Structure 1
Amino acid sequence: MAKAEPSRLRQTLSTLFKFGVYGTFLALVALGVAVAVAMSSLPSYSELVRRDDLGQTIRVRGADGTILVSMGPVFGEWLRYDEIPPIMVDAMVAVEDRRFRYHPGVDPIGIVRGIQVSVTDGGRVRGVSTITQQLARNIFLTSKRSYGRKLREAILALAIEGRFSKDQILELYLNRVYFGGGAYGIDAASRRFFGHSAETLNLSEAAIIAGLVKAPSNYSPTADAEAARGRANVVIDLMRRNGDISAAEAASAEPAGVELVPTPKQNSVRYFTDWVLPQLDTLIDETVEPIDVWTTLDVEMQRAADQAVNANTPKGAQGALVSLDRDGAVRAMVGGRDYVSSLYNRATQAQRQPGSAFKLFVYLTALESGYTPTTTVVDEPVNINGWRPRNNNRSHSGAVTIRQAFAQSINTISAKIGAEVGFRTVADMAQRFGITSPVNTHPSMVLGTSDVRLIDMTRAFASVAAKGVAVTPYGIRRVTTADNRLLYNHEVNESRVLVAPWVAAQMTDLLQSAVMTGTGRAANIGRPVAGKTGTTSSNKDGWFIGFSSGLTTGVWMGRDDARALPGLQGGTSPARAFHDYMVKAVAKRPVEQFETEVPLPDWQTEEDGVEEEYLTNPDGTPVLGPDGQPLIRQPDIQSDLSPEERDAIEQGGSEELSQDWLDDAIRRPAPPPRDPPPPRRQPAQPTAQPSNEPRAI
């Protein structure tokens, strides 16, 4: 019996081996059939030389239908393989597929390496596409990542290798691949970036072009010249290691010294188009047919915004502006003073400290917690575990209302409010209103020490203007084909309420006071305006964000290197830029008065001078009874009584159970008379914070 077990094991292994051989054979047969079918269906070489299937023409239109910019593929001359500089071929093979000359279209070694990397890093398979596979994907497939697409890509690559020579494949690839900046093919890229034909490319130039294929948007000289030159050094090192160039040739190459053709003059509208066009990938599937993108941008408002930013931004500084309509439509966007000199969009990408503009969230939290614009607080020295915030005027005003404290941007009051309501609660309010960057919970956060984006802050103010309903910025209204077929149409969602209407109304009251009597007076445009200034320590950043007549506009100014700008304050240059822009932007709109008096709901009011406490849900809303009315919390007055005391109360019969009788029965002293409103408790003592606090205005 003992000898039977090995016999069965050998029999099982033999069977498995046979199944494996048969399965492999069938798989190879199926693969061969698939490749043969693919080869028979491939276009001829002359058909593939045509490039009219590359890219998509896109016309971006403003709100009035004006064409803001036209975008589409740019082609150079088609270069035959013998016309392409060998250094260009070597550079491309070195960086994209160093075993190109030896594999049949699919690189088994690369596949194994890619799988190993994906397993060790826990990510998807990468680094396994050969030049032939990339060509197959660019011509016949999409960039959608899936195992099915990778399998089809591999079959097509094998078919291409069986149909065309290696030189023909390289010729097709180098004349069709996208290199960024709208350029398809090495000749278009060479003319676009260097101003001459690809036939005269040198080592450094070839390395720059070869390095672009990995990420054209990131490494394109039109987007980031330094990144393109840095990537070229990687290509040159790979060429040296592959033996394509000598160490001396690699050392003599100077990508940093390559002169690039200046980007054609563009106006500030490109900040907006650069922001909206990447969103098309998530809105539509059409990637071939020409399309029209109808946007929200108002050409006249954009012109006014550009003028206001350039006229008021201090010398050596940058400025940015975002203007949102009441539904979130972006009417104007300026990301910097000059798009040509800097493509960096400071309106949507830059994260800077907002200073006292962040107090919007501090006071929203206070109002939601029970404060009102007329609540009295004391401006006095504050010490929160060693952190002693100072006011801008280095003095204290004593008892002031919340309205005065906000209008004058009193830092100590913000610190006291933050300590009372909780710094985490203030951070939650900021994130509730659309702040997407991290918000710290140190005590100094109430003065705006967390970096934020201008578009996020503007969105938050717009949500207050919308009576507490969330406003989401958007730039694309609809997308149509050339024959007017609708591909996408934007729908505004007004269902998300951030705060109750009376909280938004009271906040608008405070914001209006800041412009009428406070730090934002320079933003007054002769009609109701509500807004807030912001200035960070050492005058590194200046902000003004406000709204009027349904339009909310945010302005930021500062240096990109975050160095101090003497004299820069939110109430000076940013507020003046807001004024200059808004005067023109709202000129054709009716004057709108702010609704600052919104009645409180019945469940929050007091009757007959008695303050009733209602049962509430975790989110602060009242618990409703069967009749739909809020339930009042009933005190359990007998919970602490002895049995004798309970009997005494129950034996009271028809006697009136007055509060005095009850106090006497349970031997409890009568409570002192209440003085409405009750004084606010002193700030808590949160985590210590270094004393180098920002000066927020």
Structure 2
Amino acid sequence: MRIFSILFKLLLVVTLLAGLTVGAAFLYYASTLPSLSVLSDYKPWLASRVYNPDGKLIAEYADEHRILVPFEKLPKQLIHAFLAAEDQQFYEHPGINPARILSAAVANLKAGHTVQGGSTITQQVAKNFLLSPERSLARKIREAILAYRIEQTFTKDEILYLYLNQIYLGRGAYGVASAAWRYFHKRLDELTLAECAMLAGLPKAPSKYAPHLHPKLALQRRNTVLSLMEKSHFASADEVARAMREPLKTAPLPKAKLVNAYADEVYRQLEKRFGSKALRRGGLSIVVPYDAEAETAAIHALRRGVLNLEQEQFYRFPRHVDRTHWKELIDQWASKRDSKVLADDEIVPALVIETSKHRLRVHDGLKSFWISKPKWQWEKPEQAINQERAKGPRTWIAGDIVMLQGDGHGGVRLTQSPSIEAALYSIDLERGTMLARVGGFDYQVGGFDRVSQAKRQPGSAFKPFLYVTALENGMTPASIIMDAPIVFGNGSFDEYWRPDNYKNRFAGPVTLRDALEHSRNLASIRLLQDLGIERFLLALENYPLGRSFPKQLALALGVTEVSLEALTESYVVLATGQRWKPVAIAQVQDRFGHTLHRSVAGNRCAVCHQGPVPAASDSMRPATRVLDPVDSFLITNMMKGVIEHGTGRRALALGRPAAGKTGTTNKQVDAWFMGYTPQVLTGVWVGRDIPSSMGRRQTGAHAALPIWLEAMKHFHQNRPIRDFPVPDGIEFLDVDRKTGQPTQQDGHDVIHEAFRAGTAPLPSKASPDQRNEDGSFFELGL
């Protein structure tokens, strides 16, 4: 009996010591545990979502793609699927489940490695929110204590709400709503029982059971969860049987519909205003005035225009591959092609496998076929980058890698990767919003945006600012200036400037309108001389050109550098007489629905398009009047003449009133067309990224205007034909197109000219030379 007494006492001491140890450990770990405030004030990182004016989702920004869903909106079958897979006794245990822990320990011991987890959903919440992911006994102790505390503080439904919104489920999805969207492109209330079970099977190993990566394993796991739902009485046998027969289907990740440089400009403005963290974690709701059809049409117009221009460039010696690599190359192309028919702005590589006198047999990865040899002038061998191939013949040979372009009729034509680039920027003048923005031929989001980042000489596209300044200072469209040779120098033969006109043609005395319509350089320089460079520089400060300019007469010819964005937004002033920033972001709300930002487009609210509106903030500031409406109309009317009679006649194909201006720099390095109707303004630049000549034909009218025309035709579909409204203070008079004098005759040389009221010329028999003597117009500067 004594030995039993000793053993009892010993056991009592051991038990007491163990209790004290456990108690001490509990007090130690409990005193170092984090607060539960992060759970009670749950504000997770949320995806910010971008919508078009119709409420359609077009883009998302997220560091963690999460869509927060209240508990009452979580479908019961989804909750039951997760309970069956993760914690069947969730509503019964106090945060930890000793029986499940023991069962998992036995299973893991038998397997020799971890095959089953013993954590409850509450423990997972503790781990995911409050602890590090390390695997240690200390962390498990903290996890158990925290789980118990969580159960004492929050209801079971609140714990499930935290768990189902926080958990990572693979494919970049955090929380069940995000997973439903990214796996099935569905809302939670649209999920089937089978889809709920698939999502519930993911927490165990999101990568292993991802249906888009491992469909067989995902199907097995889904069916296991369905079986557990039946055993746990969360679903009937019939429901489970039907769900198991449902095929496992996943949707491709939704592609962003907000694309190209438009997408980059929206992101840039949002990041500048709200910061990267708020944008990617704040769950903002953003409305942008985006028209996907307009942007797609602009991209197509630019790409097709560039490819058409490439047909006029020298053909560059192609890359050549040995016959032993043909099959590998063709197989590689085949794996990337998803359509047999090429669009007319799409290019793909192809291999020349056979040639004849007039034809080439090519293989594009899907099939081989014959095409006609184009008449193409090849580059000089000494200029070729591919010097090895340049040693061969200046024609196509078997083994050459060429590029094919769709011809718009189901066929193809030979092309080459573009050596020319372009950019397009369009503004909806009626709504005051950014309509389209294309940063280059093959623009990738985050790339070099040629709309804003490329600074190039605008050439004659800069002249309207000079001419409207002349109008502001008393000249009229009928005023006479001299278009004749002029030389500037400092007395040294080696240091002089002799500007000239295109093709060295001079017209003598011409009207202001004629000088602008035909882009006469010498007349423009004389106009700037007469106007005064200081006066012009002061006027330029009224435009959003984003820079100061040197005091030089060459400014009359656009010998300066500006971006397409700055030039196009400055043309807004010419078109409307007002200075305003086109709206790219109409409205931003936080996760609670509070409005953080709303923009004004010109004088209209960018959301409801009502106006006028008060200036509540910088983003709500209405337009600033820069030009008198009369001067705005006069310069627009003169630029209508550029299209009707001058260098922009190709734009007549638009079939509606439009004003515009071509621009071409020396040696055809840059080509521009800037033009607008009462509804839409579009600017187009064409050139090489490294400035060099595109060839003598590549003027603004030939290179840039066709792109402008195709895009504008699409932009004006379903828009009524409108002419530019005539403001008060305008009078019209028939004048001779050459002399600017009133006339009562009819014919091609007569124009119904617009004037500021009271400035129309009076009938006179004086010749232009005599008129110079009586000072009735600015000095000719001869």
TM-score, normalization by structure 1: 0.52
Task: Give the conservation status (yes or no) of the 8 Å contact 2:59–2:258.
Answer: no
Q: Distance in 2 between matches of 1:568 and 1:414?
A: 22
Classify the secondary structure of the residue corresponding to 2:706.
Answer: helix
User: Partner letter of residue 382 of structure 1?
Assistant: I
Partner of 2:19: none
- Does 1:427 pair with 2:556? no
1:549–1:591 CA contact under 8 A, matched in 2: no
Q: 1:472 and 2:577 equivalent?
A: no
- Per-residue CA distance 1:175-207 (angstroms, 9 max, x = gap): xxxxxxx999xxxxxxxxxxxxxxxxxxxxxxx
Shift of 1:333: 0.6
The aligned runs of 1:400-411 (5 Å cut-off) are: 400-411=510-521
Distance 2:632 2:771 in 1: 33
**Letter of the 2:561 counterpart:** D
In the TM superposition, what is the alpha-carbon distance from 1:440 to its structure 2 partner?
2.1
Distance 1:44 1:342 in 2: 40
Post-superposition offset of 1:299: 1.1
Distance 1:457 1:323 in 2: 12
Higher relative contact order structure (alpha carbons within 8 Å, sequence separation ≥ 6): 1
Q: Which residue of 1 aligns with 2:292?
A: 299
Could you report, residue by residue, the CA deviation over 1:636-666 in whole angstroms, capped at 9, with x for unpaired residues? xxxxxxxxxxxxxxxxxxxxxxxxxxxxxxx
Tell me, yes or no, if structure 1 residue 354 matches structure 2 residue 458. yes
Whether the 8 Å contact between 2:660 and 2:676 is mirrored in structure 1 is yes
Are the aligned partners of 2:420 and 2:688 in contact in 1 as well (CA < 8 Å)? yes
SS of alignment partner, residue 488 of structure 2: coil
C-alpha root-mean-square deviation of aligned residues, in Å?
3.8
What is the CA-CA distance between 1:592 and the residue it aligns to?
1.4
Pick one of 485, 498, 501 that aligns with 1:381: 485
8 Å Cα contact 2:600-2:622 kept in structure 1: no
**Contact 1:549 / 1:590 at 8 angstroms: preserved in 2?**
no
User: Partner residue of 1:518?
Assistant: 646
Q: What is the aligned partner in structure 2 of residue 16 from structure 1? A: none
| Helix, strand or coil at the partner of 2:541 | helix
- Is the 1:268–1:335 contact (alpha carbons within 8 Å) kept by the matching residues of 2? no
Give, in angstroms, the shift of residue 357 of structure 1.
Answer: 0.3
Give the Å deviation of 1:523: 2.1
Higher strand share: 2
Matching of residues 503-514 of structure 1 within 5 Å: 503-514=631-642
Q: Which piece of structure 1 moves more, 396-405 or 284-293?
A: 284-293
Q: What does residue 548 of structure 1 align with?
A: 677
CA 1:426–1:289 in structure 2 vs 1: closer, same or farther (change >3 Å)? same
> Offset at 1:433?
1.3
Q: Which amino acid aligns with 2:779?
A: R
Q: Tell me the secondary structure at the aligned position of residue 446 of structure 1.
A: helix
C-alpha contact (below 8 Å) 2:482/2:780 kept by paired residues? no
Code of the aligned partner of 1:453? S
Maintained 8 Å contact 1:59/1:71: yes
Instruction: State the distance in 2 between where 1:464 and 1:550 align.
Output: 14
Q: Deviations over 1:284-313 (max 9, x none)?
A: 585543122111221111011001100102
Report Cα offsets for 1:382-407 as digits up to 9, x if no partner.
22333221000202111211111100
- 2:699 corresponds, among 566, 569, 588, to 569
Q: How does 1:72-471 map to 2 (within 5 A)?
A: 72-73=62-63, 269-281=259-271, 283-284=273-274, 288-313=281-306, 314=309, 315-326=418-429, 327-340=431-444, 343-385=447-489, 386-466=496-576, 468-471=577-580
CA contact (8 A) 2:437 2:451 kept: yes
Query: How far apart, in 1, do the equivalents of 2:678 and 2:453 lie?
Result: 27
Distance 1:371 1:333, change over 3 A: same
Q: Identify the residue that residue 681 of structure 1 maps to in structure 2.
A: 779
- What code does the residue aligned with 1:391 have? N
Q: Conserved in 1, the CA contact under 8 Å of 2:59 and 2:256? A: no
Q: Note if contact 1:439-1:451 (Cα within 8 Å) is conserved in structure 2.
A: no
1:589 — aligned with what?
719
Number of equivalent positions: 395
Q: Aligned to 1:68, what secondary structure does the other structure show?
A: strand
One-letter amino acid of the counterpart of residue 416, structure 1:
R
Q: Give the Cα separation in 1 of the matches to 2:44 and 2:423.
A: 36
Mapped partners of 1:341, 1:495: distance in 2 = 30
- Report which of the two structures shows the higher radius of gyration computed on alpha carbons: 2
Q: Is the alpha carbon distance of 1:445 and 1:479 closer, same or farther for their aligned partners in structure 2, counting shifts above 3 Å? A: same
Deviations 1:28-49 (A, max 9, x none): xxxxxxxxxxx9896599x89x
The 1:597/1:676 distance shift into structure 2, 3 A limit, reads farther
Contact 1:302 1:333 in 2 (8 A): yes
1:476 is paired with a residue whose SS is coil
User: Do the aligned partners of residues 274 and 404 (structure 1) sit closer, same or farther apart at CA in structure 2, a change above 3 Å counting?
Assistant: same
TM-fit CA distance, 1:428: 3.0
Cα distance between partner residues in 2 of 1:546 and 1:283: 31
Residues 437, 55 of structure 1: CA spacing in aligned structure 2 closer, same or farther, 3 A cutoff? farther
Q: Per-residue deviation at 1:439?
A: 2.0
Deviations along 1:415-469, one digit per CA (max 9) or x if unpaired, are 0011111223323333311100332222111111111011111111122211x11
Shift of 1:372: 0.7
Shift of residue 548 of structure 1?
Answer: 0.8
Of 598, 602, 610, 1:489 maps to: 598
Give the deviation of 1:594 after TM superposition: 1.7
Deviation at 1:283, TM superposition (A): 4.3
1:58 matched residue in structure 2: 48
Deviation at 1:495, TM superposition (A): 4.5
Q: Whole-Å Cα distance in 1 between the matches of residues 772 and 436 of structure 2?
A: 53
Cα distance change, pair 478–416 in 1 and its aligned pair in 2 (3 A) = same
CA contact (8 A) 1:269 1:333 kept: no
**Unaligned ranges ≥5, structure 2:** 1-30, 66-128, 131-138, 140-171, 175-253, 310-417, 490-495, 602-620, 732-769
Residues 596 and 384 from structure 1, CA distance in 2 versus in 1: closer, same or farther, beyond 3 angstroms?
farther
Give per-residue Cα distances to partners, 1:227-276, cap 9 Å, x unaligned: xxxxxxxxxxxxxxxxxxxxxxxxxxxxxxxxxxxxx9988824212212
SS of the residue 2:537 aligns to: helix
Secondary structure at the residue paired with 2:482?
Answer: strand
The amino acid that maps onto 2:633 is: A
Query: How far does residue 535 in structure 1 lie from its aligned partner after superposition?
Result: 0.8
Report the alpha carbon displacement of residue 370 of structure 1 after superposing the two structures with TM.
1.2
Q: For residue 674 of structure 2, give the secondary structure of its aligned residue in structure 1.
A: strand
Structure 1 distance, partners of 2:462, 2:628, is 20
Separation in 2, partners of 1:677, 1:599: 25
Shift of 1:487: 2.4
How far the C-alpha of 1:677 sits from its partner, in A, is 6.3
Matched AA of 2:300: Q
One-letter amino acid of the structure 1 residue matched with residue 684 of structure 2: V
> Equivalences for 1:13-28 in 2 at 5 Å?
none
TM-score, normalised on structure 2? 0.46
- Asked whether the 8 Å contact 2:643–2:660 carries over to 1, the reply is yes
